[in-house]
Amino acid sequence: MLAFRAAVEAHDMDAVEALLADDVVFSSPVVFKPYRGKAITAAILRAVERVFEDFRYERVIGAADGRDHALVFAARVGDREISGCDFLHLDTSGRIAELTVMVRPLSGAQALQAAMAAQFERIAEEAQATRRTQEAGARQAG
């Protein structure tokens, strides 16, 4: 999905969030249970953007008009190099319904887990603030 890649590479996290379905399911490379919902997924992706250094996509796999894409990336967390892949599945409206991230090697995944754990409180606060904003907007619209 070129729009997702472009938004990530531009560090435009608002554009990334706009591409997520409301009920998106995010599967982390370092946590067993998937996260559900746009607010928490967007907050996690903002934290990843803060944690990854020298992030770059190296290739995209999948047909441009298809609903499944794999975006291969490389990055660094501290002194650990990471290789990984973002697997995207789009819903019928073209929004990201599923986002699964896998990374290697183990030492890189461990560095990522530690860095993300340090972001946990901020992630929870950002997700809660987003949910409150969404709920207020829904009340005003309804």
Report how far residue 74's alpha carbon sits from residue 110's, in angstroms, rounded to the nearest whole number: 15
Tokens 């919902």 correspond to 37
Confidence (pTM): 0.89
Angle at which helix 38-51 crosses helix 120-141, to 10 degrees, equals 140
Q: Beta-strand (E) ranges in 44-95?
A: 53-61, 68-77, 80-90
What tokens does 6 get?
């472009």
- Could you list the pLDDT tens digit for every one of the 142 residues in the chain? 689 999 999 999 999 999 999 999 999 998 889 999 999 999 999 999 999 999 999 999 998 889 999 999 999 999 999 999 999 999 999 999 999 999 999 999 999 999 999 998 999 898 888 878 777 777 787 7
Residues counted in the chain: 142
Domains of the chain: 2-129 (3.10.450.50)
